[in-house]
Amino acid sequence: METYLGKHTNFSCANKLRNLMKQKNIRKMLALFTSAVLVPSVLCSQIAMGSVDKLTGYYYKKSNTVEWLSEKIARLRLGPVTDKWEGRKNSIFCMESSVFIDYKGNIKQMNGEDYRIAANIIKTHNNNDDDLTQAALAFMIHNHFDINQDRWKEAVENGFVDVETETLRNKADKLWQQGVKETPVKAVLKNDYTKGKRIGVMHISLQNSNGDSLGGVPIKVKSSNNLIKFANGSESFEGKSKKEGLDITWNALDAGNARIEVSFNAPKAERLFSPDGQDVIRSFENTWYPQDFSFGVEKTFQPLLKSKISKHELRAGEQVDSTVTSSVAGNDSWPENVRLRAQGYYFVGSAEDILHIQQRNSGESAKEYLNRMRSMPNLRQVAAAKANFSNSGETITAVAKRANGDITSSDLDKAEAYKVNDLEAGLFGTWVWIISRDSQNKSDREFLKDDVVQLFGSTDTTAVHQATVSS
């Protein structure tokens, strides 16, 4: 209980009041949250009443049956408590009926939803000196937070001076309901991938405890581990929430779980935990409430190649050009402005050597796979081709050029077209297509997750070289 004894308080009188409380075993505060004490003149005659009259709210009615509300104690007022810390008005309310307030103890920030709602309501009405509003606020705080609910119930049943209890109750309920609607208590983030896990859109909204979205609340969004950047080129965004939600486009900078911190600014609830006196709740400033989210991202993508030949039976003098089509794995997409170079190699050998799939070993690069094919004793590389791709779904007919090993792009352009010759009649041939990281420009290589290998021996790329029949 806070004692409002005027500017010229008789401290002997105040001590008598405290002693009386001890005698009645009423250490519990004599003012519900926000009660101001007016010591009766019979108890202390030297009291200046002016400062008390400036308090907002309504008096508790005296009671003949409830000892802490009796004539022996004092007149109590339902309303805000004087702020002896910062001097702000209408910012502190009692939450422990029948307990004396001593302003001693630890002040801690309270983050529960109900505390946030109460803080928002208190701060919204800091400058409102209307008696009904401030008394209803005190009534509301007691309803939701009072530690001594039995004592509070006694006060409510006993009533208040110059105001109907039902009027206070209805006003308190309206204040709380409005606070629930207007108080942000959580951020919600939903991420949609638009291009693989490389590009996406975060849909961010702030919600009240009913799950309704709120607009106009200051909000900050930050990538806290540098795995993504936003469309504005930064790794942070600052603005205000929208009822329809905020859409923030992002691009991956690397692979992993992108951690996102969303913070919103709202009134801060603080509670005084008093060991011997009354606990109070206060709110007069805002604070940032952070929440963490995460989702997987990848900068790279995995292209695929599919090759086929138009004829699977070739005679001497015929070409073995390859049609190659690009695609991407899964639901991925091809990054914009990424151009990849693919190389194809045509091998000949016996049916035993050609007509089976050569699987790629775990961890084997495209070049390592190619060299392993070249190292097989009964195989010969006789041709090569090239194709460049800038998107998924592109199809290129690559002209086979005679080559028995790696060949530069310019030399390949100058090389003669490959045609089946008589020495290769009766053999079989098959294509191997690769995209090697080592063969790409640096800026393009950064997007390539893994080398690409179209396996040796695929039915779509295998032909038989028919022998010429003499007439």
The residue among 196, 139, 203 whose CA lies nearest residue 166 is 139
Number of domains present in the structure of the chain: 3
Instruction: Report the distance separating Cα 372 and Cα 80, nearest Å.
Output: 84
Within a domain: 407: yes
The half-sphere exposure of 135 on its side-chain side, counting CA atoms within 13 A, is 26
Torsion, Cα 404 418 408 343, to 10 degrees, reads -90
Do 140 and 287 belong together in one domain?
A: no
Do 396 and 426 belong together in one domain?
A: yes
Tens digit of pLDDT for each residue in 29-44? Answer: 343 333 333 333 222 2
Q: What is the 3-state secondary structure (H, E, C) of 213-227?
A: EECCCEEEEEECCCC
Of 297, 332, 353, the one marking the end of a domain is: 297
Do 207 and 244 belong together in one domain?
A: yes
Of 182, 201, 236, the one marking the end of a domain is: 182
Within a domain: 452: yes
What CATH number should be reported for the domain holding residue 425? 2.60.40
Instruction: Report the distance separating Cα 385 and Cα 400, nearest Å.
Output: 5
Do 247 and 313 belong together in one domain?
A: no
Do 203 and 248 belong together in one domain?
A: yes
Within a domain: 380: yes
Do 397 and 431 belong together in one domain?
A: yes
Do 174 and 195 belong together in one domain?
A: no
Label the pairing between strands 256-267 and 286-297.
Answer: antiparallel
**139: its two tokens:** 């009534």
Q: pLDDT band at 264, cuts 50/70/90?
A: very high
Within a domain: 408: yes
**94: its two tokens:** 């009692």
Domain range for 457 is 303-465
Do 310 and 284 belong together in one domain?
A: no
Do 154 and 196 belong together in one domain?
A: no
**260: its two tokens:** 């996102």
Instruction: Report the distance separating Cα 454 and Cα 387, nearest Å.
Output: 13
Tens digit of pLDDT for each residue in 400-436? Answer: 999 998 888 888 999 999 999 998 999 999 999 999 9
Instruction: Report the distance separating Cα 78 and Cα 13, nearest Å.
Output: 22
Do 133 and 32 belong together in one domain?
A: yes
Instruction: Report the distance separating Cα 166 and Cα 308, nearest Å.
Output: 85
Of 146, 165, 182, the one marking the end of a domain is: 182
Within a domain: 56: yes
Do 342 and 403 belong together in one domain?
A: yes
Cβ atoms of residues 308 and 420 within 8 Å: no
Q: Cβ neighbours of residue 11 under 8 Å, at least 6 residues apart?
A: none
> Average pLDDT for residues 180-202, to the nearest whole number?
96
Within a domain: 471: no
Within a domain: 470: no
Residue 471, pLDDT above cutoff 90 = no
Percent helix, strand and coil across the chain, each rounded to 5? 25, 35, 45
Cβ atoms of residues 340 and 303 within 8 Å: yes
Do 54 and 77 belong together in one domain?
A: yes
The half-sphere exposure of 128 on its side-chain side, counting CA atoms within 13 A, is 15
> Average pLDDT for residues 56-73, to the nearest whole number?
88
Query: Looking at 79-235, which runs of residues are DSSP E strands?
Result: 92-94, 106-110, 186-195, 199-207, 213-214, 218-223, 228-230
Q: pLDDT band at 53, cuts 50/70/90?
A: very low
